[in-house]
Amino acid sequence: MPPSAVKFGDFELDSAAFELRRKGRPIRLERIPLELLLLLVSRKGELVTRDEIVDKLWGSDVFIDTNTAINVAVRKVRQALRDEPDSPRFLLTVPSKGYRFVGTLVEEVEPLAAVAPVEVPVLPAVVTLPAPASSEKSPAERPRSRYWIAGVAVGLLLLTSAIALRVYLKRTASPPGRRIMLAVLPFNNLSGNPNQEYIADGLTEETLTDLGQLSPAEMGVIARTSAMAYKHTDKTISQIGRELGVDYVLEGSVRTEAGKARVSAQLIRVSDQTHLWAKNYDRDLHDLLNIENELGRNIAQQVQVKLEPKWQGDLAKARSTDPEAYDLYLKGRYYWNQRTPPGIKQSIGYYQQAIAKDPDFAQAYAGLAAAYNFATIVGSFFSEQESFPKAKAAALKAISLDPGNAEAHAALGMEKALYEHDFVGAKESFLKAIEANPNAAYAHLFYSNCYLMPMGRKGEAIAENKKALELDPLSLPINNFMAMTYMYAGEYDQSYQQFQRTIQLDPTFPLAHNYLFFMLAVTGRFEEAIQENQKFMVLSGYSPEEAAAETADMLRRFKNGGAHGFWQRNLEVILKARQAPQGPRPPASMVATAYALVGDKDKAYEWLNRAIDEHDGQDVIDLKCDPVYEPLRGDPRYVALLHKLGLPE
């Protein structure tokens, strides 16, 4: 064994060959982690500080988020060595200081510093920040990072690798017919103040929104909901990439203090966890929008995506707004994403404050429009007559300020479909939203469920919902709507399987159990439906005793009266809630469906007309596809209703 090689456990580390082996077989470990292992082994038993690691591996002339880079490198070394941080055999963490190699060496390796350094060509995918112009040194004077690798052959190998990397990114990162897929992981809040979490979350969302507008035909960006599932995760980049089906991952952090922000970001290729690019941004807080712009351009360049001219022009524009208004907007976004009645209420308040600070802040108007649209869906604190007109006004204002705002066009389309029943206008708005940002998952979702499915275009609705799911694979609402879309298309087996997938994602998500209850009931699987309803009630806040009593009564009515008894009880419950002086008031469309299910066509048509007149569109727009309306089809009054709604026969 050459003097530059050592053994520890089943492993052999050869610095001359720059290779790690296990039982004679090479282990694939990229440059930075392997250099870290060589450094630690050469200092066996000694503490190697984090500052020493940065100096030896990267040098002082490359600016990256070193804490994250070191953590990633250590994690990869441990994975290669099958070493557990809680009971280390090789790498011992010295908290807040560094690392120590504690494995037993069969033959000591020569000190790495004794090996003549070889100048390594800089890989074209790595970006280094130059010093300020006033103090910038010439390439000959600029200090270089030194890599302790023996042999000229290694230098030639890396030169070949540099060329191969460029070819790889251009030719194989995006196979023919498939877009590059990118995930933006939640930015870490390094401010030490949990009250600043909304800034990190807002920066994450705005960054991925901007990236979604970069050459969308070639690059897809995973939506916020799925990205946020990995907040504070301990999963590896490989695991995340596999679960989301992405080629690249962007991870970063933000630290705010005294009106300043330091944002760090790095781009990682999933296939081999290579760090392709890293950069720090030091800005005033009001420049966060422009940081996102700069991130988008840099990342697009790194993944070798050719920007469409219109996106190059848009990204070249500097965007600015009042710093306080932007701060209020981020708070509104934070609460909007909670999708709860209190959260929606708070988001509306913050958006309104942001607009008061900056009346020309288009994105705040777009957020306000989306919040008003969902106010009637997640809670009953606004009536349709109050919330939808406000949503329309806010969306139109946002579009007047920023005609390319995808969120505003999607919000306007949703209002037109659900409230105005203007499906021609809704289609136009949804298509404008998708054109503005083809990576906007909810634009595809709303186009599917608020236009295509109501029009009876079931196959297209499924395809569009699948696009939304590809962009946001961990979104519970989108997964749930996918199941409903299958149900409306009459594909009940696929609907059931999709409901099961949604519940596997989060068994505590109430709406999945509620919608599955409905699907099981309309397909005649009443006892299974009753079990799902019990789960829904418990998850929605009812006590176990209340849920058990409700379940027992439903079972009794079904046993005694069959399907008619089951649906008759459903009608009685809805009518009682409709007449109650307090509490949520079921909409007219819900009463109409209840009458349709018990076979009372006259009452069903009476309440459907009332629903249309009251602009209650959450259920009535599904007249052509919802299976509950099957008994009404074939009646002349059904055709008249379709005409009244503006739907084709």
pLDDT at res. 297: 67
Predicted local confidence at residue 60, as pLDDT: 52
Q: What is the pLDDT of residue 491?
A: 95
CA distance 480 to 505: 11
* Residue 276 confidence (pLDDT): 83
The per-residue pLDDT for range 374-393, each reduced to its tens digit, is 887 776 567 788 899 999 99
CB-based contacts of 262: which residues, under 8 Å, 6+ apart? 254, 255, 256, 280, 281, 282
Long-range (24+ apart) CB contacts under 8 A made by 256-261 are 256/191, 256/196, 256/199, 256/285, 257/191, 259/284, 259/285, 259/323, 260/284, 260/285, 261/199, 261/285, 261/287, 261/288, 261/291
Which amino acid, residue 5? A
Q: Which CATH class is domain 1-115?
A: mainly alpha
* Alpha-helical regions (H) of 523-624: 526-539, 544-579, 588-598, 601-613
Between CA 302 and CA 124 the distance in angstroms is 9
Fold of 180-320: Rossmann fold (3.40.50)
283: which residues sit within 8 A by CB, 6+ positions away?
260, 261, 263, 290, 291
Mean pLDDT by 10 residues, the chain (649 residues): 67 77 74 82 85 75 56 79 79 79 66 35 31 34 31 31 35 55 88 79 77 77 83 85 89 83 86 83 73 67 57 51 80 79 88 94 93 79 84 96 93 94 95 91 93 95 94 88 95 95 88 93 94 90 89 95 95 91 80 94 94 80 92 91 91
Domain ranges of the chain: 1-115, 180-320
pLDDT tens figures, 138-183? 333 333 332 223 233 323 333 333 333 333 333 334 444 568 888 9
Question: Looking up tokens 């610095």, which residue turns up?
Answer: 15
**pLDDT computed for residue 151 by the predictor:** 32
Q: 38 with 13: CB under 8 angstroms?
A: yes
User: What crossing angle do the helices spanning 288-302 and 197-212 adopt, rounded to 10°?
Assistant: 50
The pTM assigned to this predicted structure is 0.64
The alpha carbon of residue 111 and the mean position of all alpha carbons in its chain are separated, in whole angstroms, by 46
Model confidence over 33-57: pLDDT tens digits?
788 888 888 888 888 988 888 877 7
Phi, psi (5° rounding) for residue 274? Answer: -75, 135
Residue 50 is predicted with a pLDDT of: 82
Distance CA 596, CA 612 (A): 16
Same fold, 1-115 and 180-320: no
Res 569: pLDDT: 95
- How many whole angstroms separate alpha carbon 446 and alpha carbon 444? 6
CA 540/CA 522 separation, integer angstroms = 22
